Amino acid sequence: MPIKKMWGGRFEKGASELVDEFGASISFDQEMAKEDIMGSLAHVKMLKATKILPAADADQIIKGLEELAAELADHGLHFTVANEDIHMNIEALLTEKIGPVAGKLHTGRSRNDQVATDFHLYIKERLPKVVAAIKKLQQALVQLASENVETIMPGYTHMQHAQPISYGHYLMAYFQMFQRDVERFQFNQQHTDLSPLGAAALAGTTFPIDRQMTADLLGFKAPYANSLDAVSDRDFALEFLSNASILMVHLSRLCEEIIYWCSYEFGYIELADAYSTGSSIMPQKKNPDMAELIRGKSGRVFASLMGLLTTMKGLPLAYNKDMQEDKEGVFDTVKTILPSLTVMTGMIKTLKVNKAKMAQATHHDFSNATELADYLATKGIPFRRAHEIVGELVLKGLKTGQDLADIPLAEFKKIDPRVEDDVYEVLKPTVAVQRRNSAGGTGFAQVREQIKAAQQLLAKDNLQ
């Protein structure tokens, strides 16, 4: 026997089974069961306080909802497609438990403000978890950076050797990227921390409800100021997906370099066995599969953002059924970024740095060419002319196999008699890095300052 729809009074016939299944959202919005019960508890407590519902009825509903919450936490609840969504499933279960009085719960609200409230609560609860996971990754980066301030590696532009840098400096660049992610997710909370409850379908309600009370009970900063906006706004979800997409860009870039750095050609780092896999046919392989997976999972997060942007772009106010498509991408994104952050943190904590291989890569690669040009500029040669002179020396060295540091002093003096023996000290990769002490630079003193500032920032969250 088909279940009678709670909205079925206006209809002479029920929908087909196919339409029921197509229109139902319970397969995914059951993810918000806890939030739906929380919202209903706040709503009925407000109905009791404002005397919209008799105290006895409200208390019966509160008791039933609290029992459902306990059952959900203990062993879960059984939901059906016939009841369409999480809201109607919870109400149906409440009706089974306490009888027709459950029907009074929906007084002064709509599924439109109900689902928006659930969605706000869902993201609001998870934003701090995302921020905490990013900060744990930042902590791992800072620790590794502090151990490698004076570890020298090639710095790249266009994936060509550019200038030698500190590996610690390289790691702190990612710390800064992830700090911007932290700040974006923290700002996201500002637009998530609003309560749609009480906006009803779109126009508010004639019942004398107290929206501030329900906002307070649910831990929201304030109610939405406009009921149309309250039920139609999904900016907070778009911001979450946008922030998550940028986060995944950063994780993917780091993964790309991890994959390079642990290859045979580079050999700068080695991943722990726990974060690597082997080959079913090639016994020697140690594959950076976890880095590749994180890099690959960026695509599904980007797709969720593009999906919701496309869904929302042409919707008239207020609620439209299209907005049922707002949740799955967010749920999937939460389940993607949190484990990605955890796995990345583990990789960073356990990787081994081949300091000798990194340092070796900065020799005989002409990445000290800028140092020589700067040195000649200090002798009074215009930098553009110094740049040209060094470029010619590099070209000659590429043809003859002679490194800049191997050029005899007599040859340097032909360029300018003011060149002295100290030029060879300047050309050493370690010295080249150490001397770059402009603010934010790769000089060891500057890197230590970056690390100190990062440690102080993390200490505020008791992470150091």
Secondary structure (3-state) at 25: coil
Which pLDDT belongs to residue 9? 58
Regarding the domain delimited by 8-107, which CATH topology (the fold level of the hierarchy) does it fall under?
Fumarase C; Chain B, domain 1 (1.10.275)
* Mean pLDDT lowest among 217-231, 243-257, 424-438: 424-438
* CA–CA separation, 143 and 118 (whole Å): 39
CB-CB contact of 93 with 105 (8 Å): no
461 confidence band (pLDDT: 50, 70, 90): confident
Alpha helix segments (H runs only) across 218-325: 227-232, 235-261, 289-312
380-397 confidence digits (pLDDT tens): 999 999 999 999 999 999
% of the chain beyond a pLDDT of 70: 96
CB-CB contact of 255 with 295 (8 Å): yes
Radius of gyration of the chain (CA): 31
Instruction: Please give the mean pLDDT across all residues of the chain.
Output: 93
Q: For residue 18, is pLDDT > 90? A: no
> For this structure, is 279 an active site residue?
yes
Residue 160: beta bridge partners?
A: 157
% of the chain beyond a pLDDT of 90: 84
Confidence (pTM):
0.92
Which pLDDT belongs to residue 464? 46
Alpha carbon separation from 1 to 8, 14, 82, 189, 462 (Å, rounded): 15, 12, 11, 45, 58
Average pLDDT over residues 224-230: 98
Query: What are the DSSP E strand ranges found in 295-360?
Result: 352-353
Q: For residue 67, is pLDDT > 70? A: yes
**H/E run at residue 45:** helix 33-49
Place of tokens 């207020």: 318
Q: What are the sequence ranges of the domains in the chain?
A: 8-107, 112-356, 369-459
Residue 97 tokens read as 């438990």
Label residue 207 left, alpha or beta by phi (over 0 means left) and psi (-120 to 50 means alpha): beta
Which pLDDT belongs to residue 1? 41
> For this structure, is 78 an active site residue?
no
- Residue whose C-alpha is closest to residue 241's, from 181, 344, 314, 329: 329
Q: For residue 322, is pLDDT > 70? A: yes
DSSP 85: S
Residue 132 tokens read as 């905490």
CB-CB contact of 24 with 3 (8 Å): no
Which pLDDT belongs to residue 11? 53
15 confidence band (pLDDT: 50, 70, 90): low
> For residue 274, is the peptide bond before it cis, meaning its omega torsion is within 30 degrees of 0?
no
Average pLDDT over residues 44-61: 98
| The one-letter amino acid at 443 | G
Average pLDDT over residues 156-184: 97
Q: For residue 2, is pLDDT > 70? A: no
Average pLDDT over residues 338-367: 96
Average pLDDT over residues 147-176: 97
Regarding the domain delimited by 112-356, which CATH topology (the fold level of the hierarchy) does it fall under?
Fumarase C; Chain A, domain 2 (1.20.200)
Q: For residue 12, is pLDDT > 70? A: no
Average pLDDT over residues 117-146: 98
Tell me which of 78, 158, 280, 438 is the catalytic residue. 158
Alpha carbon separation from 118 to 70, 278, 297 (Å, rounded): 18, 43, 26
Which pLDDT belongs to residue 13? 62
DSSP string, 329-364: HHHHHHHHHHHHHHHHHHHHHHPEE-HHHHHHTTSS
Average pLDDT over residues 254-273: 96
Secondary structure (3-state) at 194: strand
* Mean pLDDT lowest among 16-25, 61-70, 92-101, 432-441: 16-25
* CA–CA separation, 43 and 357 (whole Å): 64
283 confidence band (pLDDT: 50, 70, 90): confident
Q: Which residue has the higher pLDDT, 158 or 412?
A: 158
CATH class of residue range 369-459:
mainly alpha
Q: Please state the φ and ψ torsions of residue 389, each to the nearest 5 degrees.
A: -60, -50
Secondary structure (3-state) at 210: coil
Place of tokens 């740049």: 387
Secondary structure (3-state) at 195: strand
Q: How would you classify the pairing of strands 160-166 and 194-195?
A: unpaired
